[in-house]
Amino acid sequence: MVAIVLAPACSVDRSGAPGPGAGTPGGRDTVLSTDSERAGEAVYRAENCARCHTLFDRPRPYGPPNLPPGPALKDAGSRVGPDLGLEGHRHSDEWHFAHFYAPAAVVRGSRMPPSRHLFRASGGLPVPTRGAAELVAYLQALGRGRRDVWAEWRRRDPDVPPAPVADRGLLDRGRELYRRHCASCHGDRGDGRGEAADFFGIRPRDLAAGHHRFKSTPPGRPPADTDLFRTITLGSGTGAAMPAFYWLPQRDRWALVLAVKELAPALRGTGLGVGRDGAIPPASGGAGEAERGDHAAGRRLWDVLGCASCHGADGKGMSRRDAGAAWADAAGAAVPRSSDLTHACALRAGASPEALERSILLGVGAAMPSYADSLPDEASLRSLIAYIRSLDKGSRR
């Protein structure tokens, strides 16, 4: 196989437009460093994925991270696939497996052909073959050689613009978008039982029950509208299957917030903006302040507070069985693993200092306790956040 190096490392691309062959494996934007990633490239060729997909997109050499544009709504039902140059870390591994097995069950209306031959039947769910695992390893490496745009993006809280008026038109729009982009996983009625749901270890949330975990309100309280907006924008990275919908116009994301609230009896009819009252403002002082936290002090807190008993000594997360825990989410369903804190993309609620603060102070669902009463002051909170950020080895900045 011939490796073609096309794009010089210092090429300046102010437009963010893809350059020719930029994502070409062998070029600097994609570095295949493991055997699986290299074997996956061969599977990509053997499967002839290139008859529908290009690999042109690449990270800008500097400046804010450029994320790929979303699918244009007019392209619904097209057989031409999107460019995959920046696919690495866009989705979780599980999302890819489910998508290979049944593309239209995951992305409604998708005309990508299923690749059932990459799976073995096993009585229950189909099991990915080694070739499927290698193909996913390859996809996860695409575009991350010099810059991991997804990790960089997840290290900042997304902007949340003021909500528009929650009128009938906005709700209708939200319901239409929900059917198109969300129901395949969360179910038409929001009960978390969409046709793709069974593929995922961390299951799509039961939105009708309104049990949310990624939020800025005290335990047991419903999420703020801004929390829902943030979740829809960010998705859950590589840590779970929830895709990021940053590419939808802001008004559409607000329409989805409204539609999601209407699915839950407890939140129905409250419009937009009211829930925000319950949000607790950040105490750590946001991004700049958290950077100044004292790592060493944070490491001591990590030990004293016993974070490693659930997240592992290295912070990579543990399975429920290994931790000997009976973690349940707010709805009583088992949480299969504690979170991997070592990569910005693996943190499901986002990797900004504010997101870490929310998780630490308010807890995450019923499985991760709140530490608000165990941290003596804001400086200790900042130190703990700084320590967790230092575990993030994902950057190749």
How far apart are CB 31 and ligand HEC at their closest, in Å?
18
Structure tokens at 17: 């437009």
Q: Could you say whether residue 261 binds ligand HEC (CB under 6 A)?
A: no
CB 395 within 8 A of CB 344: yes
Q: Could you say whether residue 213 binds ligand HEC (CB under 6 A)?
A: yes
Q: Which of 204, 275, 285, 312 is the binder for ligand HEC (CB under 6 A)?
A: 204
Q: Could you say whether residue 321 binds ligand HEC (CB under 6 A)?
A: no
Nearer to ligand HEC, 123 or 376 (CB): 376
How many CB atoms are located within 10 Å of the residue 392 CB? Answer: 19
Binding mask 327-366 for ligand HEC (x = CB under 6 A): x-x-----x--xx-x-----xxx------x--xx---xx-
How many CB atoms are located within 10 Å of the residue 239 CB? Answer: 20
Q: Could you say whether residue 111 binds ligand HEC (CB under 6 A)?
A: yes
CA 192 – CA 185 distance, rounded (Å): 6
Nearer to ligand HEC, 123 or 249 (CB): 249
CA 265 – CA 58 distance, rounded (Å): 44
Q: Could you say whether residue 103 binds ligand HEC (CB under 6 A)?
A: yes
Which of 212, 229, 225 shows the shortest CA–CA distance to 274? 225
Q: What are phi and psi of 368, to 5 degrees?
A: -110, 115
Nearer to ligand HEC, 11 or 319 (CB): 319
Nearer to ligand HEC, 7 or 142 (CB): 142
Task: Report 9-48 residues binding ligand HEC (CB under 6 A).
Answer: 44, 47
Q: Which of 14, 51, 168, 397 is the binder for ligand HEC (CB under 6 A)?
A: 51
Task: Report 160-189 residues binding ligand HEC (CB under 6 A).
Answer: 181-182, 184-186
Segments in the chain forming alpha helices (H): 35-46, 93-101, 103-106, 130-141, 149-154, 168-181, 183-186, 225-234, 250-263, 286-291, 295-304, 308-311, 320-323, 353-362, 378-391
Q: Could you say whether residue 368 binds ligand HEC (CB under 6 A)?
A: yes
How far apart are CB 204 and ligand HEC at their closest, in Å?
4
Q: Could you say whether residue 231 binds ligand HEC (CB under 6 A)?
A: yes
Structure tokens at 379: 């400086």
Please list, in sequence order, all residues whose beta carbon lies within 8 angstroms of the beta carbon of residue 4, skipping any fewer than 6 positions away: 21, 24, 26, 27
Task: Report 54-93 residues binding ligand HEC (CB under 6 A).
Answer: 78-79, 81-82, 84, 87, 90
CA 83 – CA 143 distance, rounded (Å): 11
How far apart are CB 123 and ligand HEC at their closest, in Å?
23
Q: Could you say whether residue 146 binds ligand HEC (CB under 6 A)?
A: no
**Which one of 10-18, 54-62, 224-232, 275-283 is the stretch in contact with ligand HEC (CB under 6 A)?**
224-232
Tokens 């996860």 sit on residue? 140
Task: Please measure the distance between the N-terminal and C-terminal CA atoms of the chain and give it in whole angstroms.
Answer: 29
- Count Cα atoms within 13 angstroms, Cβ side, for 28: 13
How far apart are CB 7 and ligand HEC at their closest, in Å?
21
Q: Could you say whether residue 135 binds ligand HEC (CB under 6 A)?
A: yes
**Which one of 17-25, 49-57, 58-66, 278-286 is the stretch in contact with ligand HEC (CB under 6 A)?**
49-57
Please list, in sequence order, all residues whose beta carbon lies within 8 angstroms of the beta carbon of residue 19, skipping any fewer than 6 positions away: 6, 7, 11, 13, 56, 58
Longest Cα–Cα distance of the chain, Å, equals 60
How far apart are CB 10 and ligand HEC at their closest, in Å?
28
How far apart are CB 396 and ligand HEC at their closest, in Å?
20
